[in-house]
Amino acid sequence: MPVIRFLRENRDVECYPGENLREVALREGIALYGVKGILGNCGGCGQCITCFVEIPEGNPGDALSGRTAVEEQKLRRRPPGWRLACQAMVQRSLVVITRPQLGMAGKDTQVATALAAPLPPGPTCWPEPPAAASTDEDPQQAAPVAPEASAPEGAGSPATSDERA
Ligand code: FES
């Protein structure tokens, strides 16, 4: 199971392979947005450009899904290690810096330390889905079947020759 090491928050968070980085961060209460993003973000549509994260060098190259076309366009003037969290799917364990636009004291040292500390490997797989509700009902508990409506005698059936006589 991949682990996201959120460096600024000093938190390791587990997620499943293929999970959206933004969704994992929000679920875990990680402060992903700066002031602008808090005041108004696009909800993960790749339009507001406020969910920046930095993926420091030294992470596995395939830790996240590749850049989307939206990122290629929106991040043209940003450092190459930046991503939009809403566009990135987590494939393997990695170190992430949220709100990289804010800077970070001692960042290089912290990154080196974080990358040196072992992270559990990923990916593995999603857990088995919960067992479906049983369809085997107890026959004693089964709803009674309505008896066939009894038709009046002779109704609906052809009369025999004796009856016609
Ligand atoms: S949440 Fe708006 S671009 Fe990611």
Residue 94: pLDDT above 50? yes
> How high is the pLDDT of residue 157?
43
* Token duo for residue 16: 């499943």
pTM confidence score: 0.73
Provide the mean pLDDT of the chain.
83
Of ligand 1's listed atoms, the one at least distance from the Cα of 86 is 4
Q: What percent of the chain is predicted at pLDDT more than 90?
A: 65
What CA–CA distance (Å, rounded) separates 136 from 32?
47
**pLDDT for residue 144 is more than 60:** no
Distance between CA 3 and CA 11 in Å, rounded? 10
The closest residue, in CA terms, to atom 3 on ligand 1 is 46
Lowest mean pLDDT among 85-89, 134-138, 141-145: 141-145
Residue 16: pLDDT over 70: yes
What CATH number does domain 3-103 carry, 3.30.1490.100, 3.10.20.30, 3.30.360.10, 3.40.50.920?
3.10.20.30
DSSP string for residues in 107-136: HHHHHHHHHHS--------PPPPPPPPP--
Q: Say if residue 30's pLDDT is above 70.
A: yes
Distance 120 CA to ligand 1 centre (A): 28
Distances in Å between the Cα of 26 and the Cα atoms of 22, 30, 85 are 6, 6, 10
Between 99 and 161, the more confident residue is 99
User: Six-digit token pair at 1?
Assistant: 């199971």
Question: In the structure, which protein residues have their CB atom closer than 6 angstroms to any atom of ligand 1?
Answer: 41-42, 44-51, 84, 86
